[in-house]
Amino acid sequence: MERKEPYTCIDALFQDNIHKYPVAQWQDMMTRLPEDVASRCFVHTLEFCKESRGAEHEFLLAYIRHPNPNVSTRSLVKEGRAMLAATQPYECLGTIIYPHQVDTPIPNVYHLSILAGIISGYSPYKLYGSQCYWFAHTLWGSLSRLFPNVKFIDNQRASERSKWRIIPVIVNDDVDEVCEKYHIVWRTFQERKEEEQNRHQEHTQQVWQGGREEGLQEGREEGLQEGREEGLQQGREEGLQQGLQQGLQQGRQQNQDEIDRLQRQRQQDKEQVRRKYEEQLQRQRQEDKEQLQRQRQEDKEQLQRQRQEDMDQLYQRFKREREERE
């Protein structure tokens, strides 16, 4: 009987059943993964899919490599496809394959979740563009733009993208805009990760320094104890022995006072760093919020103008057709 390889579960990524997460929640879960794990969970294949019946929704199917090289994803892919097809029959309209080469950048779950979060954030303000056709088109195009060294495989049904039945669906091309926003968010994310790493290193250094000071204190105490025992062994007078003990107690008290002072200073430094980081983060959030509000207003005005132009064109075409019939 064949022995199965070990499978390590990662919530919202590698788990035993299909579970739907809001995009913002999934992005938060992915960006909280340790960097050494997320950097090895890279996308090796991306499929552009369309439901084969019903509303014919379009979506992307990403195949992500497990961070453990000893875990085979072949059976997981087959099981995942079977479960998805059983609940949502679909057809593949195109495939992107990312080569796993050292000198070729490929997206991992950090890149994929952040990009999906940006596009999802645009959706409520795109009206006609917020449907699944626009989301799939924009994510597909953005990944192709940001990670261009790929192999495209289009099948005979590739022309059915962004169509309902045979009717083309209006899909705004926001790839350039999304990519610009992605670069800004990605830089901010990298800076935050670097700050977290620096804080971790500072904490490790502080723990090491605290252990060193504690070791020095214990060494002093042991040295004083050995000196006292040696003095007792040499038959020193009782008065000298008492003086040695008092000196030892005073030294311990001084050492303890110094440790307390260092701990208070350490706590103050930690609070100062935390306040500085919170202030910086608050400023960044406010700037992003203002920028997003401006962008929403511009998108709204652009959509209104586009609607008016479409209505004018439709009216002119209808008018010409009626005149031709008459």
> In a structure prediction context, what are the per-residue pLDDT tens digits for the chain, which is 326 residues long?
333 444 467 877 787 777 788 888 988 999 898 888 888 888 989 999 988 887 788 899 999 988 876 665 544 444 444 444 445 788 888 888 888 765 678 899 999 999 999 998 876 545 454 578 888 888 999 999 999 888 888 777 766 776 766 666 656 678 899 999 999 999 999 999 889 888 888 888 888 877 777 877 787 777 778 767 776 677 678 777 787 888 788 889 988 999 999 999 999 989 998 999 899 989 999 998 999 999 999 989 999 999 999 899 988 988 888 888 87
Contact 115, 140 (CB under 8 A): no
Asked if 109 and 33 touch (Cβ cutoff 8 Å), the reply is: yes
Contact 94, 161 (CB under 8 A): yes
Extract the tokens encoding 37.
């794990």
Question: Position of tokens 């979060």?
Answer: 117
pTM for the full predicted model: 0.55
* Edge-to-edge order in the sheet of strand 58-64: 58-64, 43-51, 90-97, 151-153
Residues near 99 by Cβ (< 8 Å), separated by ≥ 6?
Answer: 106, 149, 150, 151
- Burial degree of 111 (CB within 10 A; 0-12, 13-18, 19+): buried
Q: What pLDDT is stored for residue 184 in this prediction?
A: 94
Distance from C-alpha of 174 to C-alpha of 129, rounded to nearest angstrom: 10
Dihedral of the CA atoms 141, 142, 147, 149 (nearest 10)?
10
pLDDT the model gives residue 125: 47
Specify the pLDDT at position 117. Answer: 93
> Encoding tokens for residue 301?
């005005």
**3-state class of 174 per DSSP?**
coil
Q: So what's the pLDDT on residue 12? A: 75
Position 170 scores a pLDDT of 57
